[in-house]
A and B are shown apart, each in its own frame.
Chain A
Amino acid sequence: MIPPSFEYTAPRSVEDAVRALAEGGEEAKVLAGGQSLMPLLRMRLAFPELVVDVGGIPELRGVREDGDTLVIGALTTHHTVLRDPLVRRHAGLLAKATATVADPAVRHRGTLGGALAHADPAGDVPTAIVALDAELVAQGPDGRRSIPAAEFFTDYLQSTLSPDELLVEVRLPKPGDGWGFHYEKFRRATQEWAVVGVAAAVRRTNGRIEEARVALTNMGPTPVRARATEAALAGADVAGDAIARAAASAAEGTAPGTDLAASAEYRAHLARVLTRRAVTAAAG
Chain B
Amino acid sequence: MTTEVGRSRLRKEDARLVTGRTRWTDNITAPGLLHMAVLRSPMAHARIDRVDVSAALGRPGVVAAFTGADLGAELGSLPCAWPVTEDIVLPDHPPLALDEVRHTGDPVAVVIARDRYAAADALEAIEVDYTPLPPVLDLEAALEPDAPLVHADKGTNRCFVWPLESGDYEAARAQADVVVKRRYHQQRLIPNAMEPRAVVVTPLAEFNEYTVYSSTQIPHILRVLLAAQTGIPEHQLRVVAPDVGGGFGSKLQVCAEEAITLVVAKRLGKPVKWTESRSEGYLATHHGRGQIQDVEIAARRDGTLLGMKVDLLADMGAYLMIVTPGVPLLGAFMYPAIYKMDAYSFSCTGVFTTRTPTDAYRGAGRPEATYAVERLMDDLAVELDLDPLELRRRNWIQAEEFPYTSIAGLTYDSGDYAAATDKALALFGYDELRAEQRKRNESGDSVRLGIGVSTYTEMCGLAPSRVLRDLRYGAGGWEAAQIRMLPTGKVQVVTGSSPHGQGHVTSWSQIAADVLGVPFDDIEVVHGDTRAAPLGMDTYGSRSLVVGGTAVHRAAEKVVDKARRVAAHLLEVGEDDLEFSAGAFSVRGDPEAKKTIQELAYATFTSHDLPDGMEASINAEHVTEPENFSYPHGTHLCAVEVDTETGAVRIRKYVAVDDVGRVVNPQIVEGQVHGGLAQGIAQALYEEAVYDADGNLVSGTMADYLVPAAPDLPDFVTDRTETPATSNPLGAKGVGESGTIASTPAVVNAVVDALRPLGVTDMRMPCSPERVWRAVQEAAQPASQPKEQAS
Residues of A within 8 A of B (CB): 1-5, 42-43, 103, 186, 188-193, 195, 260, 262-263, 266, 269-270, 273-274
Contact = CB atoms under 8 A, between A and B. Distances in A.
Interface of B: 37, 116-117, 120-121, 277-280, 645-646, 648, 686, 690, 698-699, 701, 703-704, 706-709, 711-712, 768-770, 773-774
B699 to A, nearest CB: 6
Contacts of B699: 260
B711 A188 contact: no
Contact of A260 (B278, B690, B769): B690
Contacts of B686: 188-189
Contacts of A190: 709, 711-712
A263 B121 contact: no
A189 B706 CA distance: 7
A4 B706 contact: no
Contacts of B121: 4-5
Nearest to A188: B706
A191 B707 CA distance: 10
A3 B116 CA distance: 10
Given A2-B116, A266-B770, A273-B646, A189 B712 contact: yes
B768 A191 contact: no
B709 A189 contact: yes
Contacts of A191: 709, 711
Contacts of B116: 2
Given A2-B117, A260-B690, A263-B770, A189 B708 contact: yes
A258 B235 CA distance: 56
Contacts of A193: 703
A178 B646 CA distance: 30
A195 to B, nearest CB: 7
Given A188-B706, A260-B690, A262-B770, A270 B117 contact: no
A103 B699 CA distance: 21
Given A192-B706, A193-B703, 10 more contacts: A4-B117, A4-B120, A5-B117, A186-B648, A188-B686, A188-B706, A188-B768, A262-B770, A266-B770, A266-B774
11 contacts: A1-B120, A1-B279, A4-B117, A5-B117, A186-B646, A188-B686, A192-B706, A195-B769, A260-B704, A262-B770, A263-B770
A32 B645 CA distance: 39
A250 to B, nearest CB: 14
A5 to B, nearest CB: 7
B115 to A, nearest CB: 9
Contacts of B769: 186, 188, 195, 262
Contacts, number: 57
B712 A260 contact: no
B690 to A, nearest CB: 6
Contact of B279 (A5, A43, A263): A43
A2 B120 contact: yes
Contacts of B712: 189-190
Contact of A1 (B280, B645, B703, B709): B280
Contacts of A43: 279, 701
Nearest to B707: A189
Contacts of B277: 1-2, 42
Closest 4 CB pairs of A and B: A2-B120, A190-B711, A1-B277, A266-B770
Grouping DSSP codes into helix (H, G, I), strand (E, B) and loop, the A interface class, with mixed when no group exceeds half, is loop
A195 B706 CA distance: 13
B638 to A, nearest CB: 18
Contacts of A186: 646, 648, 769
Contacts of B120: 1-2, 4
Of A3, A191, A193, A262, the most chain B CB neighbours within 10 A belong to A191
B265 to A, nearest CB: 21
Contacts of B648: 186
A103 B707 CA distance: 14
A282 B686 CA distance: 30
A3 B699 CA distance: 21
Contacts of B645: 273
A1 B276 CA distance: 8
A192 B709 CA distance: 10
Contacts of A4: 117, 120-121
A8 B30 CA distance: 29
Nearest to B280: A1
Contacts of A195: 769
A266 B709 contact: no
A103 B646 CA distance: 23
Contacts of B279: 1, 43
Contacts of A260: 690, 698-699, 704
Contacts of B774: 266
Contacts of B698: 260
Contacts of B646: 186, 270, 273-274
Nearest to A273: B645
A191 B708 CA distance: 8
Nearest to A1: B277
B415 to A, nearest CB: 36
Of the listed residues B116, B646, B701, the one surrounded by the most CB atoms of chain A closer than 10 A to its CB is B646
Contacts of B768: 188
Nearest to B682: A189
A251 to B, nearest CB: 14
Nearest to B699: A260
A260 B696 CA distance: 13
A258 to B, nearest CB: 10
A229 B510 CA distance: 66
Q: Which of A103, A189, A269 has the most CB of B within 10 A?
A: A189
A224 B411 CA distance: 64
Nearest to A196: B646
A2 B769 CA distance: 34
Q: Which of B37, B121, B706 has the most CB of A within 10 A?
A: B706
A139 B399 CA distance: 77
Nearest to A272: B645
A2 B26 CA distance: 14
B704 A269 contact: no
Count chain B CB atoms within 10 A of each CB in A2, A3, A191, A195 and give the residue with the most: A2
A192 B769 CA distance: 14
Contacts of B707: 189
B257 to A, nearest CB: 16
Nearest to A39: B703
A99 B579 CA distance: 66
B769 to A, nearest CB: 6
Contacts of A273: 645-646
Contacts of B773: 266, 269
A149 B571 CA distance: 91
A108 B646 CA distance: 31
A263 B771 CA distance: 10
Nearest to B60: A5
A4 B645 CA distance: 45
A2 B38 CA distance: 12
Which residue, B768, B770, B773, has most C-beta atoms of chain A within 10 A?
B770
Nearest to B116: A2
A54 B712 CA distance: 35
Contacts of A270: 646
Contacts of A2: 37, 116-117, 120, 277
A189 B774 CA distance: 19
B21 to A, nearest CB: 21
B692 to A, nearest CB: 10
A1 B278 CA distance: 7
Contacts of B701: 43
A191 B116 CA distance: 30
Nearest to B713: A190
Contacts of A189: 686, 706-709, 712
Query: Which of A3, A260, A262, A269 has the most chain B CB within a 10 Å cutoff?
Result: A260
A103 B702 CA distance: 15
Contacts of B708: 189
Contacts of B690: 260
Contacts of B770: 262-263, 266
B274 to A, nearest CB: 12
